[in-house]
Structure 1
């Protein structure tokens, strides 16, 4: 079945499903194939991590260490993985030879944030996803920008992306975390409602969009791993 049709059929099938059902069925969907959860271990990531741990603790979880993350994120990643009993967390990073060639001084982000994201996030993730037919993301429509019309299932390149929380609100996220007593990312209390790499993340006040602190004062709203189709890839 063509992937676009597969995504459309799954959107119809799960139009009234809750997020837990969507995650469970995605992990078991033989037509999609092997599925991984790609997690930033950021401000809201623990919701899907918890759902996956309740369904199958052996689910592959891919975490991209860009080598520019906050130390708090790296600690949080280890602590949450252990607390939830996740057994297949794959920490990936940029290719060492490519970093030495293109960003040996670690300042590429100052000249070209897109190139930095491509080097440190997009390319490593593409390699890591090679064995998978689909991947789960934590994107939500309320986050705005390119996410405002987000479907539950979508075709990207030769894979299916699953967005179980697409129609969740910020309150839904907070309620779930409270209900299950899930640990918060430590930077939330310090004024970071959305957490990315250190050089490109600032605090955001309560009147701003939660992602306002990401690439502040620029038109950039996505790191690149969610921009489809990617350059040079089949549509």
Structure 2
């Protein structure tokens, strides 16, 4: 029997997920990520990127295998200008098939007319600006790829490399990388850093809800720092996730 450290965390399972894990990720000592990313059973894939502090590593890693993969960026309308400039820089440098997703203007006008929803109800703000647009965009895909990693915080400490996310499969290719691996990858491939990294931003989201990380803090402590119960934006549904809504006409 495997030791607890090599067991996969509990979560949604089905025959396809079990088969992919058995073939490419039987335990933490045998991880064939390249084989997984090339497995035709993943179907049509998209890569979702925030173009944040470590995003260049995932973008480079995956597009060396799938150069034309759609790269979905959720343009919330609240990003730092530095993030938008970094997105454009990486899109040109890596030749990305970039797709910008935007919230429904009518919903924003109705629910956030004065631009203060992030302070009043951050969960609703994320849902309107991130979750809804991504859910719509992913309807045409079977699998999506995320850049989450185990070392990024307690809420991600047991992150698997492949999981169910509602009706989709989700692959986290860098789940088992540590910070040294990320730094080494940036150096090996001469990848540019997000301009806010040097100013203490370890995890970068929307400008109103992101601050620099202080010494000794969790890497994601700068996200929603005024809302300690909020640790994720809501785009990751989990194995039993279901998402449905009425679309405005």
Q: Normalising by structure 1, what TM-score?
A: 0.91
Cα distance, 1:232 vs structure 2: 4.9
* Corresponding position of 1:200: 209
* Corresponding position of 1:153: 162
Q: 1:232 to 1:89 in 2, by over 3 A?
A: closer
* Corresponding position of 1:94: 103
Task: Find the partner of 1:59 among 63, 69, 72.
Answer: 69
RMSD of aligned C-alpha atoms?
1.7
Q: Whole-Å Cα distance in 2 between the matches of residues 67 and 183 of structure 1?
A: 24
Count residues in correspondence: 227
Which stretch has the larger CA shift, 131-140 or 213-222?
213-222
Query: Does structure 2 retain, via aligned residues, the 8 Å contact 1:8–1:153?
Result: no
Query: Does structure 2 retain, via aligned residues, the 8 Å contact 1:93–1:120?
Result: yes
* Corresponding position of 1:38: 48
Q: Normalising by structure 2, what TM-score?
A: 0.86
SS state at 1:66 partner: coil
SS state at 2:14 partner: helix
Task: Find the partner of 1:120 among 125, 129, 138.
Answer: 129
* Corresponding position of 1:188: 197
Q: Whole-Å Cα distance in 2 between the matches of residues 202 and 227 of structure 1?
A: 25
- Structure 1: any 5+ residue segments left out of the alignment? none
Stretches of 4+ moved more than 3 A in 1?
Answer: 229-233
- Structure 2: any 5+ residue segments left out of the alignment? 1-11, 245-249
Cα distance, 1:231 vs structure 2: 5.5
Query: Does structure 2 retain, via aligned residues, the 8 Å contact 1:145–1:221?
Result: no
SS state at 1:177 partner: helix
* Corresponding position of 1:178: 187
SS state at 1:161 partner: strand
* Corresponding position of 1:17: 31
* Corresponding position of 2:87: 77
Query: Does structure 1 retain, via aligned residues, the 8 Å contact 2:152–2:220?
Result: yes
Radius of gyration: which is bigger? 2
Query: Does structure 2 retain, via aligned residues, the 8 Å contact 1:204–1:212?
Result: yes
Query: Does structure 2 retain, via aligned residues, the 8 Å contact 1:194–1:211?
Result: yes
